[in-house]
Amino acid sequence: MDVYNFNLGIEQYTVGSIILFDVGDGEPSSYSTIQIGWEASVSPKMHGDSRTRLAGLWTNDGLQETGCPNAQCGFRPAEGAPMTLGGVIETVSQPKGLKQTITIIIFKDGVMGDWLVYYGFNQDDPAFIGSFPKSLFTGGMANRAPSIRFGGYVHTHTTNLVPMGSGYLPTGDAMASAFMSNIQIFDQNGQASPLTQDSPTVITDSNIYRATPVVNGRFFYGGSFQST
């Protein structure tokens, strides 16, 4: 996926991420998840700036008593890793300009059952950066990820729109629109297969933000105040 940065206001954020999750019995307290992607945000409690970071989040109970962002708890950073959750992504894409991309791989270790996380920048081979221990989860995420989502989301406390992706509506133009590509799914045997068919799309306001169908493991998404 390509990564971006924007001048944002307090408590605004824009995210492009992979979300593994289990809704449990449908109650908020049974929701468990691991989310990893890029995030540009302004949060005085967290960073106090809007630099783009590799962001992560986990919870076993809908954030009622467990879970936290980045490497504050639960996540075990790998010694000597080139990046960690919460680390700054120094170089970002320019809309309609040079693209900077990251690769994120999350899969379950077949022996210990931990969730392993790999990260790569541009053409670098993805490197192991840490893990979420199996012991963090008691529901479905302890054994597998029943559901997965890809895409972007934004947040603001004001009426000012926040850019998603590159800020441009997805038209299939790789120079303007944000994208996620080479999407693959791991099966129970640890074998990865390309996502070759489209999947259901969730868009909360299609007048502002949109996403294209998945074609050959690739889709475009985003939008806001910037016109195409």
- Whether residue 195 lies inside any domain: the answer is yes
- Whether residue 141 lies inside any domain: the answer is yes
Tens digits of per-residue pLDDT, 142-166? 999 999 999 999 998 888 889 999 9
Predicted structure pTM score: 0.92
* Domain count within the chain: 1
Tens digits of per-residue pLDDT, 85-144? 999 999 999 888 899 999 999 999 989 999 999 999 998 999 999 999 999 999 889 999
At 108, which CATH number?
2.60.120
- Whether residue 7 lies inside any domain: the answer is no
Domain that holds residue 160: 13-222
Cβ atoms 171, 17 nearer than 8 A: no
Please state the rounded mean pLDDT for residues 164-183: 89
